[in-house]
Amino acid sequence: MTKSKLTRRGLIRTGAVTAGGLAMPTIFTSQVWGQTDTGFTNAPTGDTVTLGFNVPQSGPYADEGADELRAFELAVEHLNGEGDGGMLSTFSSKTLEGNGILGKKVAYVSGDTQTKSDAARASAKSMIEKDGAIMISGGSSSGVAVAVQGLCQEAGIIFMSGLTHSNDTTGKDRKANGFRHFFNAYMSAAALAPVLSQLYGNDRKVYSLTADYTWGWTQQESIQAATEELGWETITDVRTPLAATDFSSYMTPVLNSGADVLILNHYGGNMVNSLTNAVQFGLRDKQVNGKNFEIVVPLYSELMAKGAGKNITGIVGSQNWDWKLENEKGDRYAGTNAFVQSFGTKYGFPPSQAAQTCYAQTLLYADAVNRAKSFNPCAVVEALEDFEFDGLGNGPTLYRAADHQCFKDVVVVRGKENPENEFDLVEIVEVTPAEQVTYDPEHPMFAGGDLGECNPGA
């Protein structure tokens, strides 16, 4: 290194500069995000109000993200009185009249979460700090949803999560400013269990493959608990790395394990690959313990069914919502057809469950603001807590105050034998009523969380 040229004068000078620099921030009085005169973060001042839609536009869930964004755009159109109004007419609360929210025109900004917590938080922060978004919605992965929900809680913004299925979102990571319309892993398992027992009996041996991360674990834990209650036995649970694309090496042990059911706790591309491998290994044609070998995928979407092609035939799984619900199960699910109609007219194909949950969340938020007569997050939280509604496609629904989770019927589906067209890949086996999937907020799988106080920010 160079010889040090530290002099007394140089030291004093450097010290003074550093001290000045360090003291600089204190010159500004400490003011938290937003403007103090309005009492909460990003209070809308003009004649528009900005919502932030933060969805994955790149990465493994980009398809779901694109569908979510379509639904958001549709919701904004309907809120502003354009288009055919969609579910506005079927929604049980009648405060939405197509004149925006509280008379202010709805504008929106969109961002790319890249399915990464970091990028999602950066994108949400820019919506809050730069664009003045009053509510953030979206997300297509539980990790991202939890991360953004935490951020919104700190910033004093309402977070209406999109597709997130992990128990943690409204379990141990629940937040007062965050709300989830989508169902969760526990509900999937609770809805599936009676159907599984009906279809496959009460004496089964399970082998499960689980994606090795938070969502996979909560899904596995939930389904194991639910099936063991039926009398099923879990022989082995094998964790597979998330980045795995080839699951052949996991299939041979399944054949030799003596199990007669394989549960795949995989999502997205993982599930498509593992299911394809399982079918290639002839698991579906096997007889074990005198019974047909069965495969169960607790959560799957239309997009995954599309990816898996013929292999999805006969596979049982659960969904939050399906576009055929009202046609097949009647008026209880009113709103479904209205939504499918306006979505189909605009984009030319039926919406996915991700789209439905995002559309519903946007309407629910707008309605809550109208009922509360204020954009203040704390007023909105109060309006949404224990709010009972109907007509958004899921039947009568409750937004529970204790954990900000929606309770509604869960759809159990099965891959269709002979699909009529490319959108008609699954058939509805049963709709499990909400009572059967309701649980205590302090259930062990959800315990350890604390909503905390609602935070209005400023």
Partner 1 sequence: MLGLNKKDTTILIVVAVLTMAAPFILNPFPTNSSLAQFNAGYPDLMQRFVIYGIFAIGFNILFGLTGYLSFGHAAFLGIGSYSAVWMFKLLSFNVIPAIALSIVVAGLFSVVIGYISLRRSGIYFSILTLAFAQMSFNLAYSVLSNPKFNLTNGETGLQVYGSDPQYLKGSGPDVTHIFGLEMRATETLKLGGWSFDFNVGYYLCALILLVSFYISVRIFRSPFGMMLRAVKSNQQRMNYTGLNSRPYTLAAFVISGMYAGLAGGLLAAMDPLAGAERMQWTASGEVVLMTILGGAGTLIGPVLGAGFIKYFENIFSKINDNVLHTWFAALPDGMEDFLITIVHPFVGKGWHLTLGLMFMAVVIFLPGGLVQGGQKIGRLFRRRGANAPGPEGEAARKQPAE
As a whole number of angstroms, the distance between CA 68 and CA 77 comes to: 14
Interface with partner 1 (CB under 8 A), residue total 61
Q: Which residues 6+ apart lie within 8 Å of 407 measured at CB?
A: 397, 398, 400, 434, 437, 438
User: Judged by CB under 8 A, does residue 328 bind partner 1?
Assistant: no
Q: At what angle do helices 62-79 and 336-347 cross, to 10 degrees?
A: 110
User: Judged by CB under 8 A, does residue 441 bind partner 1?
Assistant: no
As a whole number of angstroms, the distance between CA 89 and CA 316 comes to: 33
Stretch of 16-24, 339-347, 370-378, 393-401 lying at the interface with partner 1 (CB under 8 A): 16-24
User: Judged by CB under 8 A, does residue 237 bind partner 1?
Assistant: no
Among positions 102-121, residues that touch partner 1 (CB under 8 A) are: 108-112, 116-119, 121
As a whole number of angstroms, the distance between CA 411 and CA 84 comes to: 27
Q: Which of 1, 9, 47, 256 binds partner 1 (CB under 8 A)?
A: 1
User: Judged by CB under 8 A, does residue 238 bind partner 1?
Assistant: no
Least gap, CB of 116 to partner 1 (angstroms): 4
Up-side HSE of residue 428: CA atoms within 13 Å toward CB? 18
User: Judged by CB under 8 A, does residue 246 bind partner 1?
Assistant: no
User: Judged by CB under 8 A, does residue 142 bind partner 1?
Assistant: yes
User: Judged by CB under 8 A, does residue 427 bind partner 1?
Assistant: no
User: Judged by CB under 8 A, does residue 215 bind partner 1?
Assistant: yes
User: Judged by CB under 8 A, does residue 456 bind partner 1?
Assistant: no
Least gap, CB of 197 to partner 1 (angstroms): 28
**Between 76 and 413, CB nearer to partner 1:** 76
Q: Which of 43, 75, 136, 146 binds partner 1 (CB under 8 A)?
A: 146
Q: Which of 217, 365, 387, 446 binds partner 1 (CB under 8 A)?
A: 217
As a whole number of angstroms, the distance between CA 149 and CA 354 comes to: 18
**Between 29 and 421, CB nearer to partner 1:** 29
As a whole number of angstroms, the distance between CA 3 and CA 5 comes to: 6
Least gap, CB of 293 to partner 1 (angstroms): 28
As a whole number of angstroms, the distance between CA 376 and CA 25 comes to: 29
User: Judged by CB under 8 A, does residue 28 bind partner 1?
Assistant: yes
**Between 67 and 173, CB nearer to partner 1:** 173
**Between 127 and 279, CB nearer to partner 1:** 127
Least gap, CB of 110 to partner 1 (angstroms): 5
With beta carbons less than 8 A apart as the criterion, state whether 161 and 113 touch.
no
Assign residue 42 a region: left if phi > 0, alpha if psi is -120 to 50, beta otherwise? left
Taking residues 37 to 76 in sequence order and writing x for each that binds partner 1 by CB under 8 A, - otherwise, the string is --------------------xx---x----------x---
Distances (CA, A) of 248 to 162, 209, 253, 266, 295: 33, 12, 10, 15, 15
Tokens found for residue 157: 């913004």
Stretch of 128-136, 305-313, 341-349, 385-393 lying at the interface with partner 1 (CB under 8 A): 128-136
**Between 18 and 198, CB nearer to partner 1:** 18
Tokens found for residue 175: 């937040």
| Owner of token pair 């909105």 | 380
With beta carbons less than 8 A apart as the criterion, state whether 289 and 235 touch.
no
Stretch of 86-94, 125-133, 394-402, 423-431 lying at the interface with partner 1 (CB under 8 A): 125-133
User: Judged by CB under 8 A, does residue 179 bind partner 1?
Assistant: no
**Between 164 and 370, CB nearer to partner 1:** 164
User: Judged by CB under 8 A, does residue 147 bind partner 1?
Assistant: yes
What residue ranges bind partner 1 (CB under 8 A)? 1-2, 4-5, 10, 14, 21-22, 24-26, 28-33, 35, 57-58, 62, 73, 108-112, 116-119, 121-123, 125-126, 129-131, 141-143, 146-147, 150-151, 154, 168, 173, 212-215, 217, 239, 241-243, 448, 450, 452
